[in-house]
Homo-oligomer: A and B are copies of this chain.
């Protein structure tokens, strides 16, 4: 039995065989089949009703991955490894997931280290073309009205700076000259997606979304995009909690955060070069909310046995009246994929909506979903959410 007669929106995932992607697919299928509640899906809340977003059952998944593990095996590991998805739910949706397999391009050549790109990789023009062709083929194959591209690849090192990125012509010259040292994979995906007319979401800390050249291309192609770095755990809590200290004039002396995780993301972040951008995103939020810079350490340790269960411990050392020091600690034990996957669905739906409205360029109303929201100074979660509510209100009135 097919899930829907006519899928309408394609969700093309970079890192389609990763745990977040698999959880998004399994979850969408389980929701469609009525096996789980809409808990965790922000856009399922009543406040979003006025937008009449694309229903979950109207999403169809495809994408690309550099690994060879089948979607089916990744999905199975969600039950066996992190004990999140119940086996009977999984059994019911596995046929759907297996059905997406043929829409996932497996191409190990689509990644490289900017510090030392391998010599035998295809030219950047080929890379971008391959991505565009895969997206276009996915859309054509299923007659999709639109395809949203969501980047879920692992954290990679930040490439060296280059002024060429500030303009579309500059980025094009980087591609023409095959400058893999300056053009990381994440930027190729962003460029290819926008060039192909697809709304683009960067759920990772990787480079590309904040390049002037991409904004120019998005303007030209009239495509919306946004990022960076999905806000799912410790940073979510920081941006929810820090304002309390500000409102009560309690002075944060130190906010020390420790993140332990054991999934692929954790393995990638074990390399200090890969975690540099993530750490910067995590650190930046406090200064903005508090209006000063407390000591703010962020540690990320790879603890394999935890698997997808990210455990964060934060110590907040602060001063109150008469300069008396006090402390608060919190421990957050959340399953990373379970926290991230619904946001992928939320963002795909909201990007689809924006595109339907003819909106293009950055989507600052989505700031609440990101650690490092592009073109937005506001870091407080609740105020960011207020921006989203304002967006809904505006559209409700227009609608």
Contact = CB atoms under 8 A, between A and B. Distances in A.
Contacts of A315: 260, 303, 311, 313
Interface string A291-305: 000010101010111
Given A39-B251, A249-B41, A324-B84, A303 B313 contact: no
Contact of A323 (B39, B249, B325, B382): B39
Interface in A295-350: 295, 297, 299, 301, 303-306, 311, 313, 315, 317, 319-335, 338-339, 341-342
Contacts of A329: 313, 330-331
B322 A333 contact: no
A258 interface: yes
B247 A40 contact: no
Interface residues of A, number: 76
A256 interface: yes
- Give the one of A83, A253, A368 with max B CB within 10 A: A83
Given A249-B45, A253-B305, A303-B297, A39 B320 contact: yes
A303 B327 CA distance: 13
Nearest to A332: B328
Given A319-B39, A342-B320, A382-B243, A260 B256 contact: yes
Contact of A39 (B45, B250, B332, B381): B250
Given A330-B330, A332-B328, A342-B320, A382 B247 contact: yes
Contact of A299 (B299, B322, B331): B299
A370 to B, nearest CB: 13
11 contacts: A37-B323, A40-B322, A79-B87, A83-B83, A87-B87, A237-B244, A240-B241, A249-B342, A256-B301, A258-B299, A321-B338
Given A42-B248, A45-B249, A84-B324, 19 more contacts: A23-B321, A26-B322, A27-B322, A36-B322, A37-B319, A39-B322, A41-B321, A86-B87, A87-B88, A240-B243, A256-B301, A256-B303, A297-B303, A305-B317, A306-B317, A311-B315, A320-B335, A320-B338, A326-B333
B320 A334 contact: yes
A40 B252 CA distance: 11
Contacts of A319: 37, 39-40
Nearest to A341: B321
A89 interface: yes
Interface of A: 23, 26-27, 30, 36-42, 44-45, 79-80, 83-89, 236-237, 240-241, 243-244, 247-251, 253-254, 256, 258, 260, 295, 297, 299, 301, 303-306, 311, 313, 315, 317, 319-335, 338-339, 341-342, 368, 380-382, 385
A38 B321 CA distance: 7
B295 A250 contact: no
Nearest to A79: B87
Given A240-B244, A295-B303, A40 B335 contact: no
A304 B254 CA distance: 8
A303 B27 CA distance: 28
A385 B244 CA distance: 10
A40 B321 contact: yes
A37 to B, nearest CB: 6
Contacts of A326: 333-335, 338-339
Given A38-B249, A40-B249, A249-B41, A335 B330 contact: no
A254 B303 contact: yes
Nearest to A303: B254
Contacts of A311: 315, 327
B295 A305 contact: yes
Contacts of A88: 87
A67 to B, nearest CB: 23
